[in-house]
Amino acid sequence: MKRSNFITGLVSLLVGMACLSVVLLFETKLNSILSGFAGGGICSGIVILWKYYHWTKPENKSKYKEKMENENIELHDERKEMLRDKAGRYTYLLGLVVLALSITIFSILDSLEIINDTRLIVLYLGGLLLFQYITGVIIYKRLSKKY
CB 135 within 8 A of CB 89: no
Query: What is the rounded average pLDDT for all residues in the chain?
Result: 92
Portion of the chain with pLDDT greater than 90, in percent? 75
pLDDT of residue 109: 85
For 93-138, the pLDDT digits (tens) are 999 999 999 999 988 888 888 887 778 888 899 999 999 999 999 9
pLDDT of residue 20: 97
CB 83 within 8 A of CB 144: yes
Supply the pTM of this predicted model.
0.69
Q: Domain residue spans in the chain?
A: 3-71, 77-146
For the cut 90, the answer to whether the pLDDT of residue 75 exceeds it is no
For 38-48, the pLDDT digits (tens) are 999 999 999 99
For 78-97, the pLDDT digits (tens) are 999 999 999 999 999 999 99
